[in-house]
């Protein structure tokens, strides 16, 4: 069963330019507009914890995560899987993951979701390995 469907959780919407966060119900599907700049709000997930408004560094990390299409959900998807998601909290963590994405040739969204930037996780999309010329067959 879906954790968020029965928990009455609210969706979090964010305006990164104004550094504002809003909670909204999941039922009415409509455009969410920032009350300050009148731009459309970005969906940040069910478990988003907004940093202080004056903390520009933390909001730049939030902007980097949301720009890659990731959300702040405690668990991937609807909340039914077992592995909790990781999201960077500091600019240093984002820098390390950007370097890892360049070195490994992976999209930034994959390395931002890893706990350790250079270690693949089970939910990562594995790049195809080069063929070695050997066939993988079972011998019985």
- pLDDT(18) > 90: yes
Which whole number is the average pLDDT over 9-33?
Answer: 83
pLDDT single digits (tens) 78-117: 555 555 678 899 999 999 999 999 999 999 988 888 888 8
Q: What is the rounded distance in angstroms from the CA atom of residue 19 to the CA atom of residue 51?
A: 9
Q: Residue 28: what pLDDT? A: 63
Least confident of 5-9, 38-42, 48-52: 5-9
- Residue 96 class from Cβ within 10 Å (0-12 exposed, 13-18 middle, 19+ buried)? middle
% of the chain surpassing 90 pLDDT? 37
- The residue whose two tokens read 């469907």 is 5
Residue 123, both tokens: 């939910």
Check the CA dihedral 82-87-89-94 and report its sign: positive
């Amino acid at each position: 069963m879906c954790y968020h469907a029965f928990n009455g959780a609210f969706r979090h919407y964010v305006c990164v330019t104004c550094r504002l966060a809003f909670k909204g119900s999941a039922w009415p599907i409509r455009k969410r507009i920032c009350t300050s700049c009148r731009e459309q709000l970005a969906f940040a997930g069910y478990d988003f914890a907004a940093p202080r408004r004056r903390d520009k560094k933390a909001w730049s990390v939030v902007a980097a995560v949301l720009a890659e299409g990731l959300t702040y959900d405690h668990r991937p998807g609807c909340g039914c899987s077992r592995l909790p998601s990781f999201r960077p909290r500091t600019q240093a963590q984002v820098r390390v993951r950007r370097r890892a994405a360049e070195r490994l040739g992976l999209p930034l969204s994959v390395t931002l979701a890893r706990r350790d930037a250079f270690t693949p996780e089970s939910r990562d999309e594995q790049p195809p390995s080069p063929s070695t010329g050997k066939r993988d067959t079972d011998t019985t």
